[in-house]
Amino acid sequence: MPNPKGTPENLRPIKSNREEPLTDRINLRITKAMKEKLSTKDDPPEFCRRAIQKALDEDSNE
């Protein structure tokens, strides 16, 4: 019977090539229309990270 948790290689933490590791999480509510548009993107989480970073940069420049 196969192991339901997968292979040992799958249990290792994912290595990131970022300057700063992604360690924290947030939850946010969006409209259904926003979710549908977001799901059409190639990498929705990265798209959201870039959008948030852009907004934070613009806010700090004011």
Q: How far is CA 46 from CA 7, 14, 15, 23, in A?
A: 27, 16, 16, 14
Q: Give me the percent of the chain exceeding a pLDDT of 70.
A: 85
Which of 6, 3, 45 has its CA nearest to residue 27? Answer: 45
CA distance 35 to 37: 5
The pLDDT assigned to 38 comes to 96
Report pLDDT digits (tens) over 14-42.
777 888 888 899 999 999 999 999 999 99
pLDDT higher than threshold 80 for residue 13: no
For tokens 């420049």, the residue is 61
Mean pLDDT computed over 2-16: 71
CA distance 30 to 33: 8
pTM assigned to the model: 0.70
